[in-house]
Amino acid sequence: MSEHSTELKQTPLHALHLELGAKMVPFAGYSMPVQYPMGVMAEHLHTRAHAGLFDVSHMGQVILTPKHDMAALEAGLEALMPVAVSGLAEGRQRYGMFTNAQGGILDDLMFANRGDHLFMVVNAACKAEDIAHMKAHLADVAQVQPVTDRALLALQGPQAETALAALVPDVRAMRFMDVLSVDTLFGALWISRSGYTGEDGFEISVPATTVVDFARLLLDRPEVAAIGLGARDSLRLEAGLCLYGHDIDTGTSPVQAGLVWGIQKSRRTGGAREGGFPGADCILAELADGPAQLRVGLHPQTRAPMREGTEIWDASEGGQKIGCVTSGGFGPSLGAPIAMGYVDSGHASTGTPLWGEVRGKRLPVTVCDLPFRPSTYKR
């Protein structure tokens, strides 16, 4: 990412973060709360036990309106992603990713079918490039409109439904990856039953003008606490979810990243709409033959966390460097260090003993399944 802009942008909730005592840090060009006085550990555990409210307004919200019909828009998007866009029912959301000609990932995202248009949420650090990419490639089929007058909240955790249903009863009927637009006192809320913590919960697009009032009402509830980016990171790591720019980027393919579940059969070899996306040759070949490297979970066997960049070796002395940690830290719900990263496929089976080099010392680490903690989505 270029860092030519020195002025940090603020979300509509900036003043509320300061009022709540947040520690603010620069993130993807925004001033964002990394933690509140509760602290990362307690915020993480609160989200797992109750409900956490996250400001994710830095993320890009985009509306894609068809110029002709939805079918042409869907086909246009399918030419940018190895994902089935056509066939996604109205009121449903799906995970997707833009790929490049080498099969690398330009960004990962969520898109929803809202009847006469698609609604997309993309990563903050990639949103300008994503919008330019779509405007360039979808010019004939869609109007690409960044949504700039709305905030985005995530409400996550076992009590998220109780908290949100107190304000918007309709959400009780939603299942994982459903989307719903509801007119409320706060204007139209665009709600999806999803998130990035492994917990049941919601992402809620709220008009910027009313989001502070809406957030306050949620925060007034005893089960809801404001949660910062620090805990968001440890929650998604425990859930085995990729952070763009760390676990996935232009140098990793969806197959290496273990995101094969996101490539529907219709887009694979032999499918009805096989290939036809950037990097299809590489990605379909990797699907057939297996990738050279794979993203795996890693369980450090000592208490020392293995952070991003830790080299992974196949022996306690000498041997070969066979991988690297892409996300690592401490999992508060597991009470232990956890990490994920890429290793050569020959060393990727669960239980394989490996070594991570931490401050010049090789420490034992074991390949494990992801996620570290099972998700609790309401399916």
Partner 1 sequence: MKYTEEHEWLRIDGDVVVVGITEHAAEQLGDVVFVELPEIEAVVAKGDEVCVIESVKAASDILAPVDGEIVEVNEALSDNPGLVNEDPQGDAWFFKMKLDDLRVLDDFMTEDEYKDFLG
User: If binding is defined by CB under 8 A, does position 330 make contact with partner 1?
Assistant: yes
Indicate the angle between helix axes 229-238 and 40-49, nearest 10 degrees: 60
CB of 358 to partner 1, least distance (A): 9
d(CA 26, CA 34): 9
Nearer to partner 1, 76 or 337 (CB): 337
With contact defined as beta carbons under 8 Å apart, do 111 and 44 qualify? no
Q: Which of 359, 360, 374, 379: binder of partner 1 (CB under 8 A)?
A: 359
CB of 20 to partner 1, least distance (A): 17
Stretch that binds partner 1, among 187-195, 271-279, 288-296, 300-308 (CB under 8 A): 300-308
Q: Which of residues 183-222 bind partner 1 (CB under 8 A)?
A: none
Stretch that binds partner 1, among 125-133, 254-262, 291-299, 330-338 (CB under 8 A): 330-338
Q: Which of 156, 234, 252, 293: binder of partner 1 (CB under 8 A)?
A: 234
3 is in an annotated binding site: no
User: If binding is defined by CB under 8 A, does position 93 make contact with partner 1?
Assistant: no
Nearer to partner 1, 197 or 293 (CB): 197
User: If binding is defined by CB under 8 A, does position 246 make contact with partner 1?
Assistant: no
Q: Which of 240, 337, 341, 356: binder of partner 1 (CB under 8 A)?
A: 337
Nearer to partner 1, 75 or 324 (CB): 324
Q: Which of residues 6-45 bind partner 1 (CB under 8 A)?
A: 34-35, 39-42, 44
User: If binding is defined by CB under 8 A, does position 303 make contact with partner 1?
Assistant: yes
Stretch that binds partner 1, among 66-74, 175-183, 301-309, 365-373 (CB under 8 A): 301-309
CB of 271 to partner 1, least distance (A): 43
Nearer to partner 1, 103 or 230 (CB): 230
User: If binding is defined by CB under 8 A, does position 304 make contact with partner 1?
Assistant: yes
Please work out the total of residues on this chain that contact partner 1, with binding judged by CB under 8 A.
18
| Residues of the binding site for substrate | 203
| Residues of the binding site | 203
Residues at the site binding partner 1, with contacts judged by CB under 8 A = 34-35, 39-42, 44, 230, 234, 303-305, 307, 329-330, 332, 337, 359
